[in-house]
Structure 1
Amino acid sequence: MGKSAVCGLRFLLVLGILTQGSNVHFVSAQSFPALVCIGASQSDVGVNNNVQGSVARANFLPYGRDFINGNRRGPTGRFSNGKILPDLLAENFGLPFPLPYNNPTATGAAIVQGINTASAGSGWLNGTSSALGVIPGTQQVQWVKKWQQNLVAQVGASRASTIVQESPYLINISDNDILAYFQSTELQQQYTEEQYRKLIIDTAVSNIKDLYSGGARKFAVTSVSARGCSPGQITRYQPTKRDQCVGKIQTFVQKYNTEYKGATQSLQSTLPGSKFFFADTFSITVDLFLNPSKYGFRENTSRACCGTGTFETGPLCNSLSIGTCLNATNYLFFDSEHYSQNAWRIIVGTFIEDLKSSLLTQSP
């Protein structure tokens, strides 16, 4: 063995010792050409910052207080103390964090490796989004199709076609549609629970088909997480039973997820060349709520970090909120509806390898 090889081996051995058990993060080699995100607050990275009149924003402290991305630090519009779902996917894919579609910097070469249209407070149904003046899923799909067209100007038709077809489309939306149903007597009178679930899923399927018609082939669809376990929903429906998830929401969500997954499986069998991965975020978020110590959370999961931890979210979670925790790592929720960065790392860790192996394989 030559001298240079010996030195190289020694360096690797020392590096392994120094980093063993540490929090050093190595970015994965690029596995997809781009990442496209459609969603609501769990995936909004700043779209609502530029939506005039919207109050569903998180571009102020304490949001983002632990967020670090290169030279960018602090609040960005993410509903968490740090990184959220699309950020962690991008890291695992070896890609930059996709910019908000309506951000002035989301032009030229900056959009080639992806775009994010997620808008906090939105849903697949236009009525869900109209109350907060945010961007519904149907409009987000049209934004994505415009992004696809803009790629041609940047990289040419052939390369653009490859990027569009080989990139995963994260679809993380519909929880607000479900919560809106339980908050509206009018919706409950108009639709049975079964009819309403079908309405959401039919709308989702229609929009996914629209993406497919534009060239999209790889879809990473998330289930709705355990929304009945959030501190905000517990406060709304059962404030004296904080150690339990809200049963009626949980039951609805479980049925919805089963039907939604079935719809994606049907789409894969009927849309030639398509690949669908359905990420079960529901099961892990239920377990995180019920068994926090198993995952290293030291605080009561029915209370969030921000303020009292029982109702504060959006503008009610701010720098003046009394009682905000010092260390969000110990909390499942950062505000009363949204997970902490630590929680998101655990959630994504349960499915990321399966997602990559599924979507990176050749389409049937």
Structure 2
Amino acid sequence: MMSLRFHIHFLVLFTTLIIPKHCHGHLCLPEGHVALFIFGDSLFDAGNNNYINTTVNYQANFEPYGESFFKYPTGRFSNGRLIPDFIAEFAKLQFITPYLHPGYHQFIDGANFASAAAGALVETRQGLVIDLQTQLSHFKKLERQLRNKLEDAEAKILLSKAVYLISIGSNDYAIPFTTNSSVLQSYSQKEYVDMVIGNLTFVIKYESIFRINIIQGSIENLDLPNLVPLGCLPLARAANPGNTGTCMLELSALAKLHNKALSEVLPKLERQLNGFKYAIADFYTSLSERIDNPSKYGFKESKIACCGSGQYRGINSCGGKRSVVKEYELCKNASEYVFFDPVSLLNPINCYSIGKSKPNGQHKTLFVFGDSLFDPGNNQYLNGSGVEGGAITWPYGETYFKHPTGRLSDGRLVPDFIAQFAKLLILPPYLQPIAHHFTDGANFASAGGGVLAQTHPGTISLPTQLSYFKAVVKSLRQKLGDVEAKKVLMRAVYLFSIGGNDYFSFYSQNLNATQSNRRQYVGMVIGNLTSVLKEIYGLGGRKIAFQNAGPLGCLPAMKASNPQLGILCAKELSALARLHNRDLTNVLENLESKLQGFKYSIFDYYNALGDRVSNPSKYGFKNGKAACCGSGAYRGMNCGGGRNGTEPFEVCSNPSDYVWFDGGHTTERTNLQLAELIWSGAPNITAPYNVKQLFGHA
């Protein structure tokens, strides 16, 4: 009696987002801003059922739901993100929160009205879920709010350009097979399908000015599935009379009837509704193929759910909270399964791979090594690492993720943007205990880590990051075979930002160091770094990208801890960075001349960041010297309460006005600008190749 899902997806083609903005009162919208409005059932419910009076049977706000990405249950029926979360990410929107969430809603970005177990028919689990008609009424209420906040013309433009994403109907078809309903005794199958399609059509036609598109294909084209073979879900197999493991043919037959009816009604809507365009993906066949041939698509199990109980784990007891059964089983690696629970179609990451086979020659792979500038949260999985506090408290993560992720910024870091530019998902921390997709790459960076093993013991030094990479290489060889793994490693880009902590450590311990001492220390750092690069080359790596050392003496934290500096920078520390950068360039040139196929990119982070610090208004910032978050001079200390989380601190009202978010780390806006220079910068700033060009090299 759990929700079976089918997928109809109404989408507006995304308009390219660009920087210029239109402002209306206190609201400013980027040109081409695209909102995302979501309707549906458990496939899309981000947690609305947490806030209604229903039973736990229709909720997923308990473990193990959410374990892979959010690290806590959010109400999503998945181990991680849902399809709308990825759509929002690709559209450069924040995750769209549940409409019923009592917290802040950025409705100009859209809203999520979906409700697990809901149907297109009001009668489907009436009183326990938010049916499609009620979801539409919530949208109408929101529409009035938008018209109040924006001028009518601007609200109309926002709504007409928005994406309307709908996944609903499967629960309507499941009811006759999972309850004592006699509906199919009162209606023929065709009549029942027509009722479902009719209700769905009513919602689509609500506002004919909406430019709605149903799109198919791969995720790069925003393709999304239609109705799936419902009778082949683990829940349906387990409930099938005789329990032989075959699909429930009657239920799948309804799915086929629905798909046929949908394909007939959409051309009629196209003729009736101005601007209406559509295409329908044959997800019925696509998912059937993965169920019948799982190994062909990288799965090991296609009939049994990862989480549940009974035969095929088809009893929806995942989490042990529901009324059916309290005991349940949980697989070790969700990415090996087509189904997460008896009714959840796919792990969302794999769901986004629908329509794609194994990576082809165009697929990009990114491996990241570094320190806090690139650490997406590895340090939170270390035992006893107190370095930099792990960025696990507010306000870290507030701008984009809406919660702390372990990143030392208000939002995304440079590697996150590079991954998005390369059309990859944001790389999770390597140490995060989830099923990783190493064909996309991995991020090994660690806040506080250095090139030298003795720099900040307890963090992940570069030699240890290299050992992690070797483990990934081994995993790729086992999964893909030596030949294919070699291809992945050779076409990958290896992105580095490391060395700053080594120089901070040296500077703090050697205030009276001679120029000879400095040169010797820089030589040791560069020597160790060179050894790592040669090992990566030996393992197959060919394309190396460096963000060189920044103006270390100009950090707000450095000025806060050295009041005698005033507005000046610590010259000796910045001089160490310049020595490092000079020697790094020489080493990479030398490696290119000696190692066949070796190519590299160096981003002049020192001058790019330094110019933003000195001339913030030139780049759209208001403050280049003080941090957004912290205490003391230049807000250079204790953002988030310091290492113990108890120190007082201040937070600015708009991080995008600042170059620095905390005493040593830049804001998401700064990171975006820097990432754009790494990705496609001119030769005077990123040379001899930029990262986009590196990815393009065979």
Q: TM-score, normalised by structure 1?
A: 0.86
Sort the Cα spacing of 1:106 and 1:226 in 2 relative to 1 into closer, same or farther, 3 A: farther
Task: Answer whether contact 2:556 2:625 (CA < 8 A) is retained.
Answer: yes
Q: Does 1:310 align with 2:639?
A: no
Q: Does 1:173 align with 2:498?
A: yes
- Following the alignment from structure 2 to structure 1, what is the Cα–Cα distance between the partners of residues 553 and 409? 19
Q: How does 1:328-339 map to 2 (within 5 A)?
A: 328-339=655-666
- Following the alignment from structure 1 to structure 2, what is the Cα–Cα distance between the partners of residues 16 and 93? 16
SS in 1 for 2:379: helix
Task: Answer whether contact 2:639 2:650 (CA < 8 A) is retained.
Answer: no
Task: Answer whether contact 1:43 1:84 (CA < 8 A) is retained.
Answer: yes
Residue 315 of structure 1, CA deviation: 5.5
Q: Does 1:352 align with 2:679?
A: yes
Sort the Cα spacing of 1:16 and 1:347 in 2 relative to 1 into closer, same or farther, 3 A: closer
Residue 146 of structure 1, CA deviation: 0.9
- Following the alignment from structure 1 to structure 2, what is the Cα–Cα distance between the partners of residues 352 and 342? 15
* CA offset digits 1:239-260 (Å, max 9, x no partner): 2544322211112211211111
- Following the alignment from structure 1 to structure 2, what is the Cα–Cα distance between the partners of residues 90 and 247? 34
Q: How does 1:89-108 map to 2 (within 5 A)?
A: 89-107=418-436
> Which of structures 1 and 2 has the larger relative contact order (alpha carbons within 8 angstroms, sep 6+)?
1
- Following the alignment from structure 1 to structure 2, what is the Cα–Cα distance between the partners of residues 255 and 117? 26
Bigger Rg over Cα: 2
| Residue of structure 2 equivalent to 1:251 | 575
- Following the alignment from structure 1 to structure 2, what is the Cα–Cα distance between the partners of residues 162 and 242? 52
| Residue of structure 1 equivalent to 2:485 | 160
Residue 314 of structure 1, CA deviation: 7.0
Q: How does 1:187-336 map to 2 (within 5 A)?
A: 188=513, 192-237=517-562, 239-299=563-623, 301-308=624-631, 309-313=635-639, 316=642, 321-336=648-663
Sort the Cα spacing of 1:46 and 1:187 in 2 relative to 1 into closer, same or farther, 3 A: farther
Work out which of the residue numbers 100, 113, 120 in structure 1 matches 2:440: 113
Higher helix share: 1
* CA offset digits 1:64-116 (Å, max 9, x no partner): 11123xxxx42110000000011011011111112211111043xx3321111
- Worse overlay, 183-192 or 134-143: 183-192
- Following the alignment from structure 2 to structure 1, what is the Cα–Cα distance between the partners of residues 580 and 369? 19
| Residue of structure 2 equivalent to 1:44 | 375
- Worse overlay, 342-351 or 116-125: 342-351
Task: Answer whether contact 2:640 2:649 (CA < 8 A) is retained.
Answer: no
- Following the alignment from structure 1 to structure 2, what is the Cα–Cα distance between the partners of residues 35 and 18? 25
Residue 303 of structure 1, CA deviation: 1.4
Task: Answer whether contact 2:364 2:695 (CA < 8 A) is retained.
Answer: no
Task: Answer whether contact 1:313 1:337 (CA < 8 A) is retained.
Answer: no
* CA offset digits 1:310-345 (Å, max 9, x no partner): 222576175864321121111111110111101111
SS in 2 for 1:277: strand
Work out which of the residue numbers 378, 388, 394 in structure 2 matches 1:61: 394
- Worse overlay, 77-86 or 219-228: 219-228
* CA offset digits 1:172-214 (Å, max 9, x no partner): 1111001111111399489700101100000000011011111
- Following the alignment from structure 1 to structure 2, what is the Cα–Cα distance between the partners of residues 77 and 279? 25
Task: Answer whether contact 2:376 2:405 (CA < 8 A) is retained.
Answer: yes
* CA offset digits 1:132-167 (Å, max 9, x no partner): x11100110111111111112333332221111101
| Residue of structure 1 equivalent to 2:413 | 84
Q: How does 1:16-55 map to 2 (within 5 A)?
A: 22=30, 24=33, 32-55=363-386
Work out which of the residue numbers 471, 488, 502 in structure 2 matches 1:146: 471
Task: Answer whether contact 1:307 1:325 (CA < 8 A) is retained.
Answer: no
* CA offset digits 1:215-262 (Å, max 9, x no partner): 11111111011111110011223x254432221111221121111111
Name the amino acid aligned to 1:212: Y
Task: Answer whether contact 1:88 1:345 (CA < 8 A) is retained.
Answer: yes
SS in 1 for 2:651: coil
Name the amino acid aligned to 1:65: E
SS in 1 for 2:496: strand
Task: Answer whether contact 2:491 2:543 (CA < 8 A) is retained.
Answer: yes
Name the amino acid aligned to 1:124: V
- Following the alignment from structure 1 to structure 2, what is the Cα–Cα distance between the partners of residues 290 and 351? 20
Where do 5+ consecutive residues of structure 1 fail to align?
Answer: 1-10
Name the amino acid aligned to 1:116: N
- Worse overlay, 334-343 or 147-156: 147-156
- Following the alignment from structure 2 to structure 1, what is the Cα–Cα distance between the partners of residues 558 and 418? 27
Sort the Cα spacing of 1:331 and 1:210 in 2 relative to 1 into closer, same or farther, 3 A: same
- Following the alignment from structure 1 to structure 2, what is the Cα–Cα distance between the partners of residues 47 and 155? 26
- Following the alignment from structure 1 to structure 2, what is the Cα–Cα distance between the partners of residues 261 and 343? 24
- Following the alignment from structure 2 to structure 1, what is the Cα–Cα distance between the partners of residues 600 and 512? 31
| Residue of structure 2 equivalent to 1:7 | none
- Following the alignment from structure 1 to structure 2, what is the Cα–Cα distance between the partners of residues 20 and 122? 38
RMSD after superposition: 2.8
- Following the alignment from structure 1 to structure 2, what is the Cα–Cα distance between the partners of residues 187 and 171? 30
Where do 5+ consecutive residues of structure 2 fail to align?
Answer: 1-11, 22-29, 34-89, 93-218, 221-360, 682-689
Task: Answer whether contact 1:89 1:352 (CA < 8 A) is retained.
Answer: yes
Task: Answer whether contact 1:40 1:119 (CA < 8 A) is retained.
Answer: yes
Task: Answer whether contact 1:60 1:75 (CA < 8 A) is retained.
Answer: yes
Sort the Cα spacing of 1:250 and 1:18 in 2 relative to 1 into closer, same or farther, 3 A: closer
Residue 307 of structure 1, CA deviation: 2.5
Name the amino acid aligned to 1:332: V
Q: How many residues align?
A: 342
| Residue of structure 1 equivalent to 2:449 | 122
